[in-house]
């Protein structure tokens, strides 16, 4: 496969086994409406959907337990499957080929105006279309609300379909298929012929009367409007060069994880997909991490998606208001802070990777780098021409004050290590970034600092401490934390964050050592484990590998950077999605999926590559 091309890979899937063996993480594709997101397997099954928003309770959770509930539409005879996103959109097309014909399933969550019209709160629309010959299909809808803690028998409502009711919520299944009841599930068997279409619409409402969207021509219209919405949104992505398809796919994926009602961007739409198969490192990522803020803002601004950049900054500065000027490391989509962690013991976990967790206990950790991330995000936004208002400036100055007070304290570091705190070098660097950007904004009159001299003094003090204690002379590299002899890939961000030039001797030697010691099969791990560390066999981190590419591009080593970039792209799945981690041996995706931060890394690397791309003789001539 040419690395620049998203040609889909055909996979032989046996219908007899489909739906029984859990799909690989990379077998999933993401659909959504910027409020909720669903994972669709390459066997046509929606195995993950939370309502009414990303971090709400699941309705379909077969991803985490065979009895978690799903919505499956697939041929009832052996088939092969190919799939793709319709160009520049989040509409998924899954094509099933059988001996007697082929058919496709189009999956989307219609993105429509819910104020100017009367629409359901959320809708999943599945359209089955015959392409050639005839294909026998089996459809099953089996919602298990509240993380499968609730089993509801649906009520038949005549021509309106089937209604699953729980609490003050309703999921209405409306279809032109003849569904019948089997325990809590409804099932239908049908055969589709060439040019015919069938429809399954799952409409959800909470606390309001259900709206049941029509099928047929009106459903086709909703699909067309959704395609048009995504194409219009994607058209604003500014990125030239051979990697535009991958960049647009990453941008669309990022948009799918952007909660349109607040501007928050979640880390991933899933919980507890394991970092190691069968292991216990299973976390809930359906929240917003501030540590991702600066790089995410660089990606949004770099792509010219200014409306989303503004919304994201507004969320960053205002949703965090309740804890300001102190910042938590994560918040939920509305800025709520109490993300109490608990375990869902009734779920067996993805391929028996227990426990399944909801909430995230790391929310109460101290992580000093988040201050730098937030200020850096605001600076990137303002440099790109965005305006900060007086309240924004006040909040940022408050962050500066707290950094001046706190930077001498130890913290848990960017990787949220539970247990003993350290003086992480990257955390100190990001404290330096926070003060440096504030001083820059003061100098260009974006805001006015009360005492810029003392802030400069603190910034320089941080710099001195990092150089004295963060740089390990015997290693000839910056180390993970003060006094450590271990490396950490986050330090690849030093030149990206403007701490030192990419060509700087210390930065270059750190880069070389990280690539030497943390690389596996051309991919980077996030850090060298300590002697006492239990995480010795974790996968490599996609984001860290992208950071290395970014630094290479900044240094002008275009050919090497591009070679690594192409290699890294080969680890995306058939529709261009990346998880948090990649198993360096098998190439399998690990951890929550898809991961916003990895896609942010892809975008920033691609942008850096385009900046570093040598100008050809023909371009010079023209």
Partner 1 sequence: MTMLMSQSLMLWGLIATVCMTTILEASRGFGFSRMSLPFIMGSAFSGRRSNATVIGFALYMLGGWLFAFLYFLFFASVGIYTWWLGAIVGLVHGAFLLVCAIPLLPYVHPRMASEHHGVTARRQMEPPGFLAVNYGAQTALVTLIAQAVYGGVLGACVQIQQAMMN
Residue 523: beta bridge partners?
Answer: 520
Closest separation in Å from C-beta 591 to partner 1 = 34
Report which DSSP code applies to 592: S
d(CA 194, CA 100): 11
Helical spans, DSSP H, in 216-283: 217-235, 244-256
Q: Quick one: 172 or 250, whose CB is closer to partner 1?
A: 172
551 close to 544: Cβ distance less than 8 angstroms: no
d(CA 64, CA 72): 16
Question: What crossing angle do the helices spanning 425-443 and 369-383 adopt, rounded to 10°?
Answer: 30
Q: Which residues touch 440 (CB under 8 Å, ≥6 apart)? A: 379
Residue 46: beta bridge partners?
Answer: 40, 71
Supply 37's token pair.
Answer: 């997101």
Q: Quick one: 80 or 206, whose CB is closer to partner 1?
A: 206
Closest separation in Å from C-beta 208 to partner 1 = 5
Q: Quick one: 159 or 536, whose CB is closer to partner 1?
A: 159
Closest separation in Å from C-beta 172 to partner 1 = 7
d(CA 602, CA 578): 9
- Asked if the bond preceding 52 is cis, omega within 30° of 0, the reply is yes
Closest separation in Å from C-beta 54 to partner 1 = 20
Closest separation in Å from C-beta 286 to partner 1 = 22
d(CA 455, CA 120): 52
136: left (phi over 0), alpha (psi -120 to 50) or beta: beta
Q: Quick one: 334 or 558, whose CB is closer to partner 1?
A: 334
HEC readout, 145-194: HHHHCCCCCCEECHHHCEEEEECCEEEEEEECCCCEEECCEEEEEEEEEE
Closest separation in Å from C-beta 212 to partner 1 = 5
Chain residues that interact with partner 1, rule: CB under 8 A: 114-119, 157-160, 163, 165, 167-168, 170, 172, 174, 205-215, 218
Q: Which residues touch 574 (CB under 8 Å, ≥6 apart)? A: 8, 9, 11, 26, 42, 83, 84
C-alpha angle 533/426/512, rounded to 5°?
80
Q: Which residues touch 274 (CB under 8 Å, ≥6 apart)? A: 280, 281, 282, 349, 350, 351, 353, 590, 591
Q: Quick one: 84 or 119, whose CB is closer to partner 1?
A: 119
Q: Quick one: 126 or 363, whose CB is closer to partner 1?
A: 126
Report which DSSP code applies to 351: G
44 close to 106: Cβ distance less than 8 angstroms: no
Tell me which H or E stretch contains 589.
Answer: strand 589-590
Residue matched to tokens 């929550």: 592
Q: Quick one: 222 or 397, whose CB is closer to partner 1?
A: 222
d(CA 284, CA 339): 10
Q: Quick one: 110 or 591, whose CB is closer to partner 1?
A: 110
The torsion angles phi and psi of 146, rounded to 5 degrees, stand at 55, 55
Closest separation in Å from C-beta 319 to partner 1 = 22
Q: Which residues touch 394 (CB under 8 Å, ≥6 apart)? A: none
C-alpha angle 602/248/570, rounded to 5°?
50
Q: Quick one: 199 or 230, whose CB is closer to partner 1?
A: 199
Supply 302's token pair.
Answer: 């770099």
Of the candidates 567, 569, 570, 595, the one whose C-alpha atom is nearest the C-alpha of residue 581 is 595
Q: Quick one: 214 or 483, whose CB is closer to partner 1?
A: 214
Q: Quick one: 214 or 304, whose CB is closer to partner 1?
A: 214
d(CA 49, CA 33): 12
Q: Quick one: 176 or 194, whose CB is closer to partner 1?
A: 176
Q: Quick one: 128 or 212, whose CB is closer to partner 1?
A: 212
Closest separation in Å from C-beta 114 to partner 1 = 6
The torsion angles phi and psi of 36, rounded to 5 degrees, stand at -130, 165
Supply 328's token pair.
Answer: 């938590």
User: How many CA atoms lie within 13 Å of 437's alpha carbon, on the beta-carbon side?
Assistant: 29
Q: Quick one: 117 or 474, whose CB is closer to partner 1?
A: 117
d(CA 106, CA 227): 11
Q: Quick one: 222 or 354, whose CB is closer to partner 1?
A: 222
Q: Quick one: 183 or 209, whose CB is closer to partner 1?
A: 209
d(CA 397, CA 391): 10
């Amino acid at each position: 496969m040419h690395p620049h091309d998203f040609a889909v890979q055909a996979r032989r899937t046996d219908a007899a086994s489909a739906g029984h063996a859990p799909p690989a993480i990379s077998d999933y594709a993401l659909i959504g409406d910027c409020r909720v997101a669903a994972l669709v397997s390459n066997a046509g099954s929606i195995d993950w959907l939370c309502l009414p928003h990303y971090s709400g309770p699941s309705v379909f959770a077969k991803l985490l337990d065979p009895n978690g509930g799903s919505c499956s539409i697939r041929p009832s005879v052996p088939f092969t499957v190919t799939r793709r996103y319709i160009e520049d959109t989040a509409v998924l097309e899954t094509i099933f080929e059988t001996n007697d014909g082929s058919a496709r399933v189009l999956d989307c969550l219609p993105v429509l105006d819910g104020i100017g019209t009367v629409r359901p709160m959320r809708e999943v629309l599945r359209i089955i279309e015959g392409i050639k010959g005839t294909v026998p299909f089996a459809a099953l809808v089996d919602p298990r609300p509240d993380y499968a803690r609730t089993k509801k028998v649906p009520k038949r409502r005549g021509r309106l379909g089937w209604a699953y009711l729980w609490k003050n919520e309703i999921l209405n299944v409306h279809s032109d298929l003849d569904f019948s009841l089997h325990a809590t599930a409804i099932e239908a068997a049908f055969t589709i012929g060439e040019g015919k279409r069938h429809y399954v619409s799952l409409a959800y409402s909470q606390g309001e009367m259900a709206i049941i969207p029509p099928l047929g021509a009106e459903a086709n219209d909703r699909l067309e409007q959704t395609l048009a919405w995504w194409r219009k949104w994607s058209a604003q992505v500014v990125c030239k060069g051979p990697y535009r398809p991958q960049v647009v796919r990453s941008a669309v994926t990022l948009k799918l994880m952007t909660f349109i009602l607040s501007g928050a961007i979640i880390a991933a739409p899933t919980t507890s997909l394991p970092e190691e198969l069968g292991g216990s490192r299973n976390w809930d990522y359906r929240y917003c991490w501030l540590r991702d803020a600066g790089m995410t803002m660089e990606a949004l601004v770099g792509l010219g998606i200014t409306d989303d950049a503004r919304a994201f900054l507004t969320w960053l500065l205002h949703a965090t208001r309740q804890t300001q000027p102190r910042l938590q490391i994560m918040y939920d989509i509305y800025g709520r802070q109490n993300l109490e962690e608990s375990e869902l013991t009734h779920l067996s976990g993805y391929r028996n990777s227990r426990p399944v967790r909801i909430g995230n206990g790391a929310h109460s950790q101290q992580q000093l780098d988040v201050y730098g991330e937030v200020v850096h995000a605001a600076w990137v936004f303002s440099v790109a021409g965005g305006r900060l208002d007086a309240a924004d400036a006040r909040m940022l100055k408050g962050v500066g004050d707290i950094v001046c007070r706190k930077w001498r304290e130890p913290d848990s570091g960017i990787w949220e290590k539970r247990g003993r705190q350290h003086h992480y070098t990257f955390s100190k660097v990001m404290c330096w970034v926070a003060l440096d950007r504030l001083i820059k904004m003061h100098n260009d009159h974006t805001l006015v600092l009360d005492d810029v001299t003392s802030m400069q003094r603190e910034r320089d003090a941080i710099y001195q401490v990092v150089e004295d204690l963060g740089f390990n002379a015997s290693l000839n590299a910056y180390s993970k934390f003060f006094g450590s002899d271990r490396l950490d890939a986050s330090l690849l961000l030093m030149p990206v964050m403007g701490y030192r030039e990419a060509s700087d001797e210390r930065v270059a030697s750190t880069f070389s050592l990280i690539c030497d010691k943390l690389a596996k099969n051309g991919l980077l791990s996030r850090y060298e484990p300590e002697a006492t560390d239990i995480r010795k066999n974790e996968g490599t981190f996609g984001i860290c590998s992208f950071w290395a590419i970014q630094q290479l591009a900044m240094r002008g080593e275009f050919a090497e950077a591009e070679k690594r970039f192409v290699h890294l792209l080969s680890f995306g799945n058939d529709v261009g999605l990346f998880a948090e981690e990649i198993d360096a041996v098998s190439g399998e995706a690990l951890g929550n999926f898809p991961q916003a931060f990895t896609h942010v890394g892809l975008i920033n690397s691609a942008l850096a590559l385009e900046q570093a791309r040598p100008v050809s003789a023909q371009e010079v001539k023209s």
